[in-house]
Amino acid sequence: MSYLSIEFGLVFIVFFAIYWAFRLLPKFQNKLLLLSSYLIVGSYSLQFAVILFIYTCAIYFFSVMIATSKRYARCWLILGLSAAIINLALFKYFDFFRYELQSLLNYLNLSILLPVITVLIPIGISFYTFHSVSYLVSIKKKELSVAKFWDFALFLSFFPSIIAGPINRAKTFLPQIAVSQPRAVLEPYRAFTLIVLAVLKVYCLGGLISENWVTPIFSNPLEYSTLDLLVGLYAYAMQIYLNFSGYTDLVTGIALLLGFRLPINFNFPYLAFNLREFWDRWHISLSHWIRDYIYIPLGGSRRSFVRTQINVMCAMLLSGLWHGAGINFIIWGACHGVGIVVLNVLDRYTGRGWIIQRSPIIARFITWHYICFTWLFFYCESLPDALDYLTALSQNFLINSHYTAAFLSICVIFLVYPLCQNIPNWCTLQLSRTNRGFLPIIFIFILWLTIYFAPSGVPNFIYANF
């Protein structure tokens, strides 16, 4: 059930009424949330709900063992993390690596035939695996005591964040579940702004860009001019941002209406002056997770310069692989890794922020183009497709452009984009100052317009596939 569907909207309003009818009973509210989360997971497939429950039991068992065992806590942590990773790998990566593994076995003359199995990837597995890792590590570090089982089950399955994040940390999210005082709706005006923005971003802007610019250009790049192909790359960068940040806005808004605060995932990433800053602004919950649970345990920047760059590459490659079992995602991760390594080398020899100090707009321009280039690998499922695009981009100078107006529009957007930074906060502020009687009229008007201009059909959440 898509969170932008009519069905979800109506069910959510009913759920909202029931949920707040039990305002004085937060424990019961938790049960309601748990039940609804499992129902949503089950609406994709009953198997997914069963897998999630078994996984929850297994990780909970490991957390109890880590907390109770003084001598072997570390062993139990390793076992728990291994179980989580193996579970993820089996469901998500088995098929991808089956060919390579089989070739290896054949090469070693081992007569083992790997089974050809059809496994559906459980919805949200990438996200709840990361949630559980943060929980196990927090238990080991004694930042948290073992949660109650049903609280932990809700932490893993909390419906606003299970499908496509943001990635919650046990340390900050479990205390929000385990409250004994009645909850309240948090920042309602911000929640409204986020929900309206989500509809605008995903339904309208993202949908229009995808339908009019991305799909036609990417379907056969060879037919288009260099200028058009640039529009295609820019447009996909915009679409993926609008789609994913819109989704995050929506679930953050929903969570606030239920009295929960989710970590912020986006902070105008295309305003970044360099690639490092981009990762501080794009999918923040993932990049911080990778920093804390992969990059720093590998040694971070505490060791030699070369070792730091190796750690960066490892972290970015894993980040790419996390997005999906495909060579394109690995290349995408590698491009970001190489980009950051090059940036580190430049910083070392020219001083940190050499370009930014001289011309911030050029820094942003270079960063934006490099990011657009990397998105090409994210979109294209195979390397030859991406190479076709790049070949056309570098050769089709003489073909007539069909998207000149689009190109100019994007140039204007690039220049005025920094002014948009305050729009969400400004909207929230204006809403909070508006007479409450007018609020429904404002929402109806904005949503009417948004849906009117949006292309038909409920758009997919790109990140729900990861």
Partner 1 sequence: MKSKQISLKNRRRNKPKKNGQQVNLLKNSTQKQSTEYKPKIKAKVSKAMISDDASLSSKYIFVLLLVTAIALIAIYYNSILIYCQQTYHSDIFNTGSLTQVTEQKDSQESIEITSSTPKDATKGQTDVNHTINNESLLNQSAKNSVINSSDETDKNPKIIRHNKIYEQLNVIKQKRSELNRKAAGIPPLPEQKISVVKSESPKIDHQDIPLIHEPLPIVVTKNDKVFFVGDSLMQGVAPYVKKMLFKQYKVESLDLSKQSTGLAYPNAFNWPKTIDDNLIADPAIKLLVVFWGPNDPWDFPVKGYAKYAKFKSELWEEQYRLRIAMVLNSAYEHDVQVLWLAVPCMRKRQLNEGMIYLNTLYQSELEKTQQHFLSTNQLLGCTYEKYSNFIESGKDKIKVRVDDGVHFTTAGQKILAKAIMEKIIFKQLEGGDSD
Q: Is the CB of 304 or the CB of 395 nearer to partner 1?
A: 395
Chain length of the chain: 466
Minimum distance from CB of 294 to partner 1 (Å)? 17
Most distant CA atoms of the chain, gap in Å = 76
Minimum distance from CB of 317 to partner 1 (Å)? 22
Minimum distance from CB of 32 to partner 1 (Å)? 14
Identify which of 431, 419, 149 has the alpha carbon closest to the alpha carbon of residue 268. Answer: 419
Instruction: State the Cα–Cα distance between residues 448 and 441, nearest whole angstrom.
Output: 10
Minimum distance from CB of 83 to partner 1 (Å)? 23
Interface residues toward partner 1, by CB under 8 A: 6, 9-10, 12-13, 16-17, 20, 23, 95, 99, 102, 116, 118-121, 172, 184-185, 187-190, 216, 218-220, 222-223, 257, 261, 263-264, 267, 281, 284, 288, 381-382, 388, 418, 421-422, 424-425, 428-429, 432-433, 436, 439-440, 443-444, 447-448, 451, 456-457
Q: Is the CB of 56 or the CB of 161 nearer to partner 1?
A: 161
Q: Is the CB of 347 or the CB of 388 nearer to partner 1?
A: 388
Q: Is the CB of 47 or the CB of 359 nearer to partner 1?
A: 47
Instruction: State the Cα–Cα distance between residues 111 and 251, nearest whole angstrom.
Output: 49
Minimum distance from CB of 428 to partner 1 (Å)? 5
Instruction: State the Cα–Cα distance between residues 132 and 174, nearest whole angstrom.
Output: 11
Minimum distance from CB of 308 to partner 1 (Å)? 23
Q: Is the CB of 111 or the CB of 118 nearer to partner 1?
A: 118
Q: Is the CB of 180 or the CB of 351 nearer to partner 1?
A: 180
